[in-house]
Structure 1
């Protein structure tokens, strides 16, 4: 029985590796050329494979786009959900969230940039799913800010607007951050945490 299971495990690992290679290549091409201009032939050529290799894991180019966008959104969601598990006060929760959120967004820079630019090309069901995740994300961040206002830690007139401003500021960094640039992810995380905590009305970050 044990011997019979090993080949299946290897096949699953190989399939997962092929899927990841396809996604990594597709996100690079969608980021470089745009979703409309990048083709599955481009993806196959860069991978040095034929299109059936791609279709073995993804039914269409749009399915690739959906998975790329979902991974970016889920990275942001995970950063927030992980911080909420600590059950800290509003100030420390926001500080830790921003730190992890900035890092997660920049580590998934291309996914987030592709999602921002190509959301209009998603299928209706996929777009609605991601919009629901984004709405829940904004609601959770707004709640943190509302709690901070109630406790006197934050000074913001409109917590929902502040939440959107924080999200927008961090998301936009995917368009100017460069891995070989002057600032590292750690530098940007530190600076943006300071700036965005100030936006929430805290003078120190």
Structure 2
């Protein structure tokens, strides 16, 4: 690969980040080498040290920036929302939409957490905790105002996040449902799960279309 133009500047750092993200996603943090990364970017191995000091630093920066962006965009999505139900709906819509397009970042942030050194691990866990706290506060407000019925805020927070993030394991563009339909389905699941007196039979069922009808979005069958 030809040497990257402007290898001392932001352009190369961005190329390193993108290549690192792809290589860690495809091969795992432990298996990826800096020599492999340099070859992918198109620079000499020694030139990497003009941008990152270690492979650990690269992993930390990728995960940290991902969660910071997650927090920034979430706060923007929640801005102006007052009622707990509106906040929760906005949280779900944002989380699902964001995770549809950030599969690599999400996978690395979850699967490679164990690869972080103690100091970096603690910082990332604190950032993740800040994101979880946003949801916990929404649920807590809903309970306090009588809009939600939740047995345990922490358990509900972790359960909802697991449900919403789970779509990264099955979502593929071009499947049966549109993105909007997938978001709506998750909103229904979460809101009905915390709304007092909600009955499962009240939920609208999305029926599978006949084979000759092509829709978009949804699980990829294998």
TM over 0.5, shorter chain? yes
1:195 is aligned to: 189
The one of 21, 26, 29 aligned to 1:32: 26
State the shift of 1:76 in Å. Answer: 2.4
Q: CA RMSD in A?
A: 2.4
Aligned length: 194
Structure 2 segments unaligned to the other structure (5+ residues): 1-5, 205-222
State the shift of 1:185 in Å. Answer: 4.3
Taking structure 2 as the reference length, what is the TM-score of the superposition?
0.77
The answer to whether the Cα contact below 8 Å between 2:78 and 2:90 also exists between their aligned partners in 1 is: no
State the shift of 1:162 in Å. Answer: 1.1
After superposition, the Cα gap between the structure-2 partners of 1:169 and 1:150, relative to the gap in structure 1 and judged at 3 Å, is same
2:153 is aligned to: 159
Map Cα deviations across residues 44-88 of structure 1 (whole Å, 9 max, x no partner): 222232223322211111111111111221232123322343142
**Counterparts of 2:58 and 2:94, CA distance in 1:** 26
The answer to whether the Cα contact below 8 Å between 1:66 and 1:126 also exists between their aligned partners in 2 is: yes
* Structure with greater helix percent: 1
After superposition, the Cα gap between the structure-2 partners of 1:87 and 1:192, relative to the gap in structure 1 and judged at 3 Å, is closer
Taking structure 1 as the reference length, what is the TM-score of the superposition?
0.83
The answer to whether the Cα contact below 8 Å between 2:149 and 2:195 also exists between their aligned partners in 1 is: yes
1:52 is aligned to: 46
1:111 is aligned to: 105
| Bigger Cα displacement from structure 2, 124-133 vs 192-201 | 192-201
